[in-house]
């Protein structure tokens, strides 16, 4: 079977274990793969940082209560958190670093800061 260069699509001529048609294509392919994974990490870090700031803003003391609408209005993204804590009673807290939130009934959330 004729192999194709994953970067430019040209046919690969030469050794059977060759993956790219040229060094240039290998380099540019690897660079773009690295760039994508760096973007992913950067975007995830940005979301976490934003979530953290929102929780910090809404919860300047150790403990408070807020609504889902307020969190969403500020741009909170519920898909991004750093850890989950389950109490013995089975209550699940979601944490963004040391700022946690707990879903309550009726679209409300308890916000808690973890003591360090």
Contacts to Zn ion by CB under 5 A: 5, 7-8, 10, 21, 25
The least distance separating Zn ion from the CB of residue 33, rounded to whole angstroms, comes to 15
The least distance separating Zn ion from the CB of residue 4, rounded to whole angstroms, comes to 8
- 3-state SS of 49-82 is HHHHHHHHHHCCCCEEEEEHHHHHHCCCCCCCCC
By beta-carbon proximity to Zn ion, the closer residue of 18 and 114 is 18
The least distance separating Zn ion from the CB of residue 27, rounded to whole angstroms, comes to 11
CA distance 39 to 28: 16
- CB-CB contact of 5 with 14 (8 Å): no
By beta-carbon proximity to Zn ion, the closer residue of 10 and 57 is 10
Tokens 């963004």 label which residue? 96
By beta-carbon proximity to Zn ion, the closer residue of 29 and 93 is 29
């Amino acid at each position: 079977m004729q192999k194709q260069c994953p970067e430019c699509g040209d046919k690969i001529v030469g050794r059977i274990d060759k993956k790219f048609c040229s060094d240039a294509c290998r380099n540019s392919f690897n660079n773009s793969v690295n760039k994508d994974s760096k973007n992913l990490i950067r975007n995830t870090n940005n979301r976490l940082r934003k979530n953290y700031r929102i929780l910090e803003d809404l919860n300047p003391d150790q403990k408070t209560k807020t609504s889902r609408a307020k969190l969403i209005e500020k741009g909170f993204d519920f898909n991004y958190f750093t850890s989950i804590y389950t109490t013995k009673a089975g209550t699940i807290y979601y944490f963004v670093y040391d700022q946690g939130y707990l879903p309550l009934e009726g679209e409300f959330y308890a916000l808690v800061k973890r003591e360090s």
